[in-house]
Amino acid sequence: MKKAIYFKKMTITLSGAFIAFVFLSILIKYGIINRYYTGILISFGINVILAVSLNVTTGFLGQLTLGHAGFMAVGAYCAAFISKNLVGLPDVVCFMIALTGGGLMAMLIGALVCLPTLRLKGDYLAIITLAFGEVIKNILLNLSFLGGANGYIGIPRFTDFGWTFWLAVITVLATLSLMRSRFGRVITSIRDDEIASEATGIAISRFKLLAFIFAAFFAGIAGGLYAHYMSIIEPRVFDIDKSIEILVMVVLGGMGNVPGCIIAAGVLTILPEFLRGVDNLRMLLYAIALIVIMLCKYNPNFNRLIHRWRNKLKGADRT
């Protein structure tokens, strides 16, 4: 019964995604969405992957991590290195290998960071992951075969709208179905109460590790997409600001709320672009907008208003 509903939902989501994809592709093909807006769509997709994957560790598992951009960097550099050195293969195959390689590398690094930090919680874990992000950035700054501070250049431009779109869809669906499974229940229970889960016979260390490497893998994929979209990457991009930006998406979208994260990723991708017109005031307005959104989000009156609208919409649907 539950499974049937679940599959029905999945089919609806997938067909919805497909329709959206066809629609957007046509618009792009006929130039109605120009290159600039396509670029925003691609950033949006990459941010969705980042936010949804961070939501697994921060939202569902309840561990604050500040180094997500570090995993993204590992994925970006590793994928770029692969696609630059792997010649003679068709583009699609080469890109696939590069992305997977980047994801797996990020996963490996994720495991390496996670293993010694499994016992840490809250602030301590945040500090360690923050430091990790900086360490990665500084290592990359000093690796001359990866371009160092000048940036790694000449990466083939494989990323297009289609790749980003479907990888984002895969990330979302993988996360949603994983969180509905036994695994999801287990990691939410670790967030709710570690002692109780341990007393229930859950090997919490193992599940923490699994959630971490899951998130790291998709962050790596997002990094790969980013590298092959920009065609030049530099370590500075993957600093603490980027990690915070992803975290803001998760907090804004709601801890453990996947659809919310997608919307938040959208808002936070478009908002800074939208504000380009006011140039000097851009970052100031961006900050103010963030504060207003956060205030509204936790304001009971505002939430009541939203609920009323939602109920009205639902009522209108039924009649």
- Smallest gap from Cβ 64 to other proteins, in A, equals 17
Does residue 185 touch other proteins according to CB under 8 A? yes
Task: Choose between 100 and 205: whose C-beta lies nearer to other proteins.
Answer: 205
Asked if 288 interacts with other proteins (CB under 8 A), we say no
Q: Contacting other proteins (CB under 8 A), which of 199, 301, 313, 315? A: 199
Minimum Å gap between C-beta 302 and other proteins is 23
Report, in Å, the least distance between residue 298 CB and other proteins. 17
Residues from 108 through 167 that contact other proteins (CB under 8 A): none
Q: Which of 122, 142, 193, 303 binds other proteins (CB under 8 A)?
A: 193
Instruction: Supply 60's token pair.
Output: 């569902």
- CB burial of 40-74 (b: ≥16 within 10 Å; e: otherwise) equals bbbbbbbbbbbbbbbbbbbbbbbbbbbbbbbbbbb
Residues near other proteins (CB under 8 A), total: 18
Among 116, 201, 277, 315, binds other proteins (CB under 8 A): 201
Residue 13 binds to other proteins (criterion: CB under 8 A): no
Does position 181 interact with other proteins (CB under 8 A)? The reply is no
- Using the minimum distance from each CB to other proteins, give the nearer residue, 87 or 199: 199
Q: 22: which 2 tokens? A: 């066809």
> What minimum distance in Å lies between the beta carbon of 186 and other proteins?
7
Options 136, 186, 221, 249; binder of other proteins; rule CB under 8 A:
186
Query: Is the CB of 178 or the CB of 202 nearer to other proteins?
Result: 202
For residue 197, state whether it binds other proteins (rule: CB under 8 A). Answer: yes
Residue type, 13: T
Q: Name residues contacting other proteins, limited to 204-263 (CB under 8 A).
A: 204, 256
Q: Which is nearer to other proteins, 198 or 239 (CB)?
A: 198
Q: How far is the CB of 62 from other proteins (least distance, A)?
A: 10
Binding-site member from 200, 299, 303, 311 for other proteins (CB under 8 A): 200
Interaction site with other proteins (CB under 8 A): 185-186, 188-189, 191-193, 195-204, 256
